[in-house]
Amino acid sequence: GYWKNKEATDEVFNDDGWLKSGDLGYIKDGFVFIVDRVKDLVIRGGENISCIEVETAIYLHPSVKEAAVFGIPEERLGETLCVDICLKFSKDLAEDELREFLHDKLAVFKIPSIIRISAQGLPRVASGKFSKKQLRDEFILIEENES
């Protein structure tokens, strides 16, 4: 639950008292494997896309230092897949090069439509995780300003 926040605590427990952690995973051979978070799942044209799966493929590219994948609202498909990438020092990477690299690693619908590449590090929250909310908000703001 949440300290001194009954409403938030009530939201994460179901009627039977089970905690809804928001984690996606599976059980195999008696082990629990956590693979993603429900809130990070992107639904694009009816297909569920795990951001961690896409990030894992992107990290295989030798020029990529950091990558954060997330969805932004899109009228036709519901959401579109975006990635914000920080490159390793003195490395180059073009959007088309990354798409080609991912082509044999991911289904076509899992390859991000919007790719932003920079030499600056990605924003983080206090725990050290990437601030996907900030990145998502920046993308949405850019899209609104361009239309």
Residue 104 DSSP class? T
pLDDT (tens digit per residue) in 18-51:
888 889 889 999 999 988 888 889 999 999 999 9
CATH number corresponding to 41-146: 3.30.300.30
CATH 2.30.38.10 in the chain, residue ranges: 1-37
pLDDT (tens digit per residue) in 132-142:
999 999 888 88
Q: State residue 142's pLDDT score.
A: 82
CATH 3.30.300.30 in the chain, residue ranges: 41-146
Q: Hey, what CATH topology would domain 1-37 get?
A: Luciferase; domain 3 (2.30.38)
pLDDT band at 11 (very low <50, low <70, confident <90, very high): confident
**Cα–Cα distance measured from residue 93 to residue 53, given in angstroms and rounded to the nearest whole number:** 20
